[in-house]
Amino acid sequence: MRDAPLNPAFLQACRGETPAHTPVWLMRQAGRYMAEYRALRAKHSILEMIKDPEKATTVTLQPVNAFPVDAAIIFADILTLLEPMGLNLEFISGKGPVFHNPIRDPADIRALKAIDAGRELNFTLDAIRLSREKLANRIPLIGFSGAPYTLACYAIEGAGSKDFDNVRAWMFAHPQAWADLMDRLTDAVTDYLLAQIQAGAQAVQLFDSWAGSLSLADYRRFAAPWSRRIFDTLAREAPDVPRIHFSANGGHLLEEISTFPISVLGLDWRVDAAAAVSKYGNPLAYQGNLDPARLLASDEAVREGVASVKAAFSGAQAHIFNLGHGVVKTTPPERVKLLIDQVHARD
Ligand code: CP3
């Protein structure tokens, strides 16, 4: 059993306890808005940085050293999981992620390989071990994975897309093959998250960034059962490690998501937090949900946003302050500092 972190606020809130201060961390807290990140990125591709545990650890710690965040998140990406399954990933500048051999027909799914995260994604597990060492228990470290639906979107589309219309069409056309793909992704995500926990991740977050492109009925049929299965397994195999769910644009799905065996329900910025808390209730802890664009606007917009987000969550048993999606790359770092100080000061 490892010692409790010196700053336990984040893990306490995950358990529904009341910490001494409101914990805060930011999705995409490591990244291009930081000069330290851009300096390293100028010399290495994103995949080189993720696959070298020393560099991934350096990047994980950049925001921790710059700002008094209450949690670190391991520097990795949701898409690396698809590589050992057989999909060839490249990040193309100006275009984003591209898979050179996306899934085109049901036969491609039968060719996908089961992964062994301990071997094939060991770079991230080593980065977790090294980051835990360097963090020296100051704050907890969060591990993460993409949810099966969001991973399936990239695997089929082969790149980003506005609403993944082609993917939804594929799903409706091939429901059987879709279920097979989701089963395989679920096994891979479960293996990966359990391996991250084994390596030292003290909480895990499932990012279902594109779930919001589905109607509630289709989410229930085509996506939710597999996310639920992941949380069921984690709850059984690693009951003490908090489980966080986040979906962007997923306000209309919360009715289903809030019934998953999760510890923390993440809200994107479009969701009325006070209404969500009263509707879905406690003992869930909540995470969110400041509009990331406020950080681009003015100090006053940040101050005002922090106050209203905190007030909106005041009925929750516990609140972890976060943005309602990732930090935008043009964010001035001073505003991130202001945001975190404001969250801590307004308790
Ligand atoms: O939060 C953190 O600080 C941890 C790091 C992290 C990254 N990606 C690093 C990254 C996390 C949690 C992710 C998750 C991720 N990756 C998601 C889910 C979260 C969300 O935003 O909804 C998704 C959909 C991806 C897929 C992905 N990775 C895309 C679409 C891109 C390109 C984006 C762009 O603006 O170019 C990436 C690349 C990526 N992953 C970057 C970072 C810091 C930018 C890479 C760069 O430096 O060029």
**Ligand 1 mean position, distance from CA 28 (Å):** 7
| pLDDT given for residue 282 in this prediction | 76
Q: What is the pLDDT of residues 87-127, one digit of tens each?
A: 999 999 989 999 999 999 999 999 999 999 999 999 999 99
41 is catalytic: yes
Q: What is the pLDDT of residues 192-218, one digit of tens each?
A: 999 999 999 999 999 999 999 999 999
Cis-peptide into 289, omega within 30 deg: yes
154 is catalytic: yes
| pLDDT given for residue 39 in this prediction | 98
* Closest Cα to atom 42 of ligand 1: 31
Cα radius of gyration rounded to whole Å, the chain = 19
pLDDT band for position 35 (cuts 50, 70, 90): very high
| pLDDT given for residue 1 in this prediction | 41
| pLDDT given for residue 5 in this prediction | 85
Q: What is the pLDDT of residues 43-88, one digit of tens each?
A: 999 999 999 999 999 999 999 999 999 999 999 999 999 999 999 9
| Sheet architecture: strand order including 243-246 | 72-73, 141-146, 203-207, 243-246, 264-266, 285-290, 319-323
Angstrom distances, CA of residue 211 to CA of 162, 205, 246, 287:
12, 15, 10, 18
Cβ atoms within 10 Å, residue 1: 4
Q: Residue 225: pLDDT above 50?
A: yes
Of 33, 37, 149, 154, which residue is the catalytic one?
A: 154
- Cα separation, 120 vs 138, in Å, equals 29
Q: Counting atoms of ligand 1 from 1, which one is nearest the CA of 49?
A: 47
Are 112 and 105 in contact, with CB atoms under 8 Å apart?
A: no
Cis-peptide into 175, omega within 30 deg: no
**% the chain with pLDDT above 90:** 95
Mutate to test the pocket of ligand 1, among 25, 64, 77, 287 (most ligand atoms within 8 A of CB): 77
Which residues are near ligand 1 (CB < 6 Å)?
27-32, 41, 46, 73, 75, 77-79, 91, 96-97, 144, 160, 207, 209, 248, 326
| pLDDT given for residue 284 in this prediction | 86
User: 155 in the Ramachandran plot: left (φ > 0), alpha (ψ -120 to 50) or beta?
Assistant: alpha
Rounded to two decimals, what is the model's pTM? 0.97
Q: What is the mean pLDDT of residues 242-253?
A: 97
Task: For residue 270, give the nearest of 325, 322, 335 by alpha carbon.
Answer: 325
Q: Counting atoms of ligand 1 from 1, which one is nearest the CA of 30?
A: 3
Domain architecture of the chain: domains with CATH: 9-345 (3.20.20.210)
pLDDT band for position 309 (cuts 50, 70, 90): very high
